[in-house]
Structure 1
């Protein structure tokens, strides 16, 4: 029969120590949908497909919690041996001082360190550990919400993260699942509306005519752009209304903002269009100085067609 000391050692063996978190690192899963009416953002991984892939590579459910790294630079020490996988922005990786690859399961031995360098391009890298990160859920999610402060705080040196040592039901059946290279200037699909009538005729076409630069004040709430300001047809602002993921909001200064995972559920500035959901992860991987282009989502019904009277 195990004593108290054995139980304490077992708990310690389930920990990952954050030696260095890099510029900004958080725990993320697929978010907490269904609470917008309470003013709670969905949050979750900014590049959800990359987190899903990392989880599949280690046999986890796609919804398991992992670590979202911003510009890499992390060092993690594993108390017990575990399978891990990294996806998203490509980084140089070493495990126990040996080179390791991205987009493939890798074994981290007990006491070993996993070191993640800085990606040459792209912004966010995802680490999944077999079993998932086991921090306590808040409103059904383990995600850190940078806007509301809900969920675990951002990682810092000395943070101890629990993970489940019991293997999940899924087996590790893939040796390598490479991702497509991240485009340097993606052309993302834009669905006009719901407030494109607040802008001059041709404003949506002008938005799609030239690239926009990503500014340094971008974050998980939204990507702020620098470029041509869409011409307004109406002055003033709206009563606060719902904001979807990917909404392109235009504040009084005229420089568009593309809302990401931690965006507020409501806002009062007009939304000229919404980035197609499948293209939002591309926006989430852009770093300051990168550029993007909007292109009309030709086969998608405009958001204004759904506007209530």
Structure 2
């Protein structure tokens, strides 16, 4: 896998250099969904540090005070397509055309499938997956007309190897990986001979492992050496570096994640054995037990 990985990096680097255009902090308008916490918040901070003048944030829990005049907050439920279309008109009229979309919003409900309500399943799928359809379908036409744009999809390594008790979350992240792949080839690439190709619109898929955020704060990684917990500030820098460089394709962090697409093709007994060794399913079951205990305590406090 070592030589193959290095060869892939070399080819990817060559292809990325064919049509590299650095972002312009004075003119490019950034949209980040779920930008008030976790990785989204760190992305916003990093864009501010890099002197971008227009950073749009979609979220439900907005701060009382903005950390910068460059940040424009909008109260938005990304699972509501009508709300997104309304905000698009307002943004286009008052700020201009969004040229970089980072689909980052996401939630999780850590329960076995049979313990989830239908409403909980629909909520996870809508926020994590369908919102990408709504956002991109709304903002992409302007990018195509402008012949400039970047669509960044934040998926997860759990889209390749999903643990127990995360059926909806894992399915939503797998869906994002497939969504990115299909959209990328709809738009085209610099290698296409089709004159109608929209290759000026770049796409980038980010598939990180566990982040040190509140979403999975109670999950105990069985081996931090094999599967280190990522700092969201570090990942935000890596993502924006890639965008400014003009990177296409997929970035997976940390290193073990690069082997997961291949892992899925192995025979079932081998994958099951590796899952047992990793402890991934057991750690999620323990996390689920703690969540249920906390819910029971909260319910008892409220009665």
Give the TM-score normalised by structure 2: 0.23
Which structure has the larger Rg?
1
TM-score (norm 1): 0.23
Give the helix-richer structure, 1 or 2: 2
